[in-house]
Structure 1
């Protein structure tokens, strides 16, 4: 789950498209149609457009180099700098490992990686190479580096509010994205979308411009429309596959953790805003107490108690509140982000599918070992939230 825009026509269009495809796919599921991961004509066209975006980068780079070589030693060399700058801005951006977040590897967290490997077998894929822990109520998978290594980004606040079997459902759902036909997780399409997003930022119009900025806005208007149009087209071409991938990942999560656990995970997602409010309140109270000053003895104690207070709050949410949120979600729409089907549709898809028992379970001892492996990351993340505040979703 990637960073999402909160406003704008593109964001509203993505949510509308997600809801439309989500409803159609749910109708297929409830009608007895078996969903399968596949590459359709839309995915092929999206791949072609993505290749064209990368080809444009190569053309610009080649043109810049040609102008520099052609005008070597003269002022015309400067003509090559402009296409080279454009090529640099449009270059494929491969994800990298985070530098300011805890990163876990197999030698430092063998039990957690063993659990992921076990769940990956159920998902019909392999595990991940690295785990990054951050302070968000989220989880996602991606690949990084030229060798395409797999990275699981685990939002510790989300991990902390989930019971063990819902954690398994979460892990399997994320791992399911590696093999269920979601082209947005592919290297070619994903990097093209990142390049176009960067260009859309470069061509963004300046609000309330002066004379110079007005001229720049006029020059950027048409290219900005073109870039936004291509992004929207890629959204439309890949949205149905992305929605299908979410339903398939939910089914895989049900097989691994049980249908009941997968449904409970959907319910838990409805109350993440309440967890976010609690974490912001804790951060505000810490700021009032002067907890922003690092190096104090009390900072660590407050950080360790953060997760306990969050757990108490989550346990206090009554069942009728979940029922209310389920009804509100069905009426108004609730989704994890703009690319996911509405949560109530995902929940319905699980309830109308086959009922599975848990294929992967953890006992108290194993859960304790995993908790010990995450202890340092848990303390660091708690202190970060209390020091810097909880990030907006």
Structure 2
């Protein structure tokens, strides 16, 4: 893409511009962050961000210096589990009380109260992950080479592989569990997989599988469901707007219990936020161990500009709508989508990567308080000695995996273009 040159309106320095991206000045940081001011966050989110800022730089320095990995057995972890179990005990007490009131309270109004308790318990109940009913699921027999790669990366991370894979169009990837037995599920975003190189893909798998290896408190079923229950309590006790006199009394009655629930949520946040961010750093170190430091840093570079991939997919979808009336063009529009996306990402100039790094430094933890900023994760990888790859994705292996994902690539390309 041809670039033009113009002076910075702030300091007069020369700026080389690419019309596809934000114009900014590397000399004085003019227009590094042209985004609109975000909406004012709620009280809980403000607290999260304050805690993230307070611990972020200190945690980065500790991890960069080779700090110890997170543990679920430290004092904060034990206290977080204690609070979570107390939350679940309230749900259990409501369940028992509801059953007793329904069974033993006939002849009066108590069964009605019991039914209300049971309905509340159903609303607050812990949820187990489930496989989506509307998305194809890949199992080992359908993608043996991809599962073999995941198994090899998992061995490097010191954990086990996954039981199922869902391929999505997202520019992202994640892991979770499903079912009573806690089976493992990898959600593999093709939008991210297709814009990364072979070793970067190994680093991506190493990072995601690292979450299973490092015992991330916030994503464990006990604490995650406790946080969900507390959010449901807040929803149930949400103050009624423009209340009638009776509703005003109800709002007043809910005030202290709502403050108690909010306090518990804040306590769980404070006890788990640092460990959750630290778990991300540890997962990054496992990504480097599996795919190499160079590959893990390259993955961070892709994540810095991931929004550009999302914008490209949106533009492709809009273009697909334009040719919707032309049958032949519509039929073939999906072909080459992922290759065009990868080519676009490869063409992003270094100046845009640098702008995103400076933007991350300015915003800090204000965008996502549960993750360290990407620029700090990248810097932590570069702070230590480079690590060679433990797993190498050879050309034959790449081709076999590409064949296994071919049907998903076509299906998701058609879905992305709404064909």
Q: Distance in 1 between matches of 2:331 and 2:43?
A: 44
Which residue is equivalent to 1:248?
282
Q: Distance in 2 between matches of 1:134 and 1:213?
A: 45
Q: Deviation per CA, 1:257-294: give whole Å up to 9, x if none.
A: 00111111111111011111111222222234338x9x
Q: Deviation per CA, 1:331-352: give whole Å up to 9, x if none.
A: 3337883311111211121111
Q: TM-score, normalised by structure 1?
A: 0.88
Deviation at 1:209, TM superposition (A): 6.5
Deviation at 1:178, TM superposition (A): 1.1
Deviation at 1:194, TM superposition (A): 2.3
Between 1 and 2, higher relative CO (CA 8 Å, sep ≥ 6) is seen in 1
Whether 1:274 and 2:305 are equivalent positions in the alignment is no
1:1-393 residue pairs with structure 2 within 5 A? Answer: 7-31=41-65, 33-35=67-69, 37-72=71-106, 74-205=108-239, 220-290=254-324, 299-333=330-364, 337-387=368-418
- Describe the shift of the 1:218–1:386 C-alpha distance in structure 2 as closer, same or farther (beyond 3 A): farther
Deviates more, 1:109-118 or 1:16-25: 16-25
* Secondary structure of 2:335 counterpart: helix
Deviation at 1:108, TM superposition (A): 0.8
Q: Distance in 1 between matches of 2:57 and 2:340?
A: 38
Contact kept, 8 Å, 1:299 with 1:383, in 2: the verdict is no
Higher helix share: 1
Q: Distance in 2 between matches of 1:249 and 1:205?
A: 40
In structure 2, runs of 5+ residues without a counterpart are 1-38
Q: Distance in 2 between matches of 1:17 and 1:308?
A: 41
Which residue is equivalent to 1:391?
none
Deviates more, 1:152-161 or 1:165-174: 152-161
Q: Distance in 1 between matches of 2:253 and 2:336?
A: 54
- Describe the shift of the 1:160–1:73 C-alpha distance in structure 2 as closer, same or farther (beyond 3 A): farther
Q: Deviation per CA, 1:139-184: give whole Å up to 9, x if none.
A: 1111111111111111221112111111111111111111213112
Q: Distance in 2 between matches of 1:332 and 1:41?
A: 31
Q: TM-score, normalised by structure 2?
A: 0.83
In structure 1, runs of 5+ residues without a counterpart are 389-393
Contact kept, 8 Å, 1:37 with 1:244, in 2: the verdict is no
Q: Distance in 1 between matches of 2:343 and 2:69?
A: 39
- In angstroms, what is the RMSD of aligned CA positions? 2.6
- Describe the shift of the 1:84–1:31 C-alpha distance in structure 2 as closer, same or farther (beyond 3 A): same
Rg larger in 1 or in 2?
A: 2
- Describe the shift of the 1:218–1:162 C-alpha distance in structure 2 as closer, same or farther (beyond 3 A): farther
Contact kept, 8 Å, 1:137 with 1:157, in 2: the verdict is yes
Q: Deviation per CA, 1:296-332: give whole Å up to 9, x if none.
A: 6655522233212212211210122212222222233
* Secondary structure of 1:98 counterpart: coil
Q: Distance in 1 between matches of 2:139 and 2:176?
A: 16
- Describe the shift of the 1:349–1:81 C-alpha distance in structure 2 as closer, same or farther (beyond 3 A): same
Q: Distance in 2 between matches of 1:183 and 1:63?
A: 30
Deviation at 1:354, TM superposition (A): 2.5
Q: Distance in 1 between matches of 2:66 and 2:144?
A: 41
Deviation at 1:75, TM superposition (A): 4.4
Deviation at 1:381, TM superposition (A): 2.0
Q: Distance in 2 between matches of 1:165 and 1:369?
A: 16
Contact kept, 8 Å, 1:183 with 1:241, in 2: the verdict is yes
Deviation at 1:129, TM superposition (A): 0.8
- Describe the shift of the 1:188–1:123 C-alpha distance in structure 2 as closer, same or farther (beyond 3 A): same
* Secondary structure of 2:218 counterpart: helix
Contact kept, 8 Å, 1:90 with 1:198, in 2: the verdict is yes
* Secondary structure of 2:114 counterpart: helix
- Describe the shift of the 1:276–1:114 C-alpha distance in structure 2 as closer, same or farther (beyond 3 A): same
Deviates more, 1:158-167 or 1:215-224: 215-224
- Describe the shift of the 1:357–1:90 C-alpha distance in structure 2 as closer, same or farther (beyond 3 A): same
Deviation at 1:80, TM superposition (A): 0.8
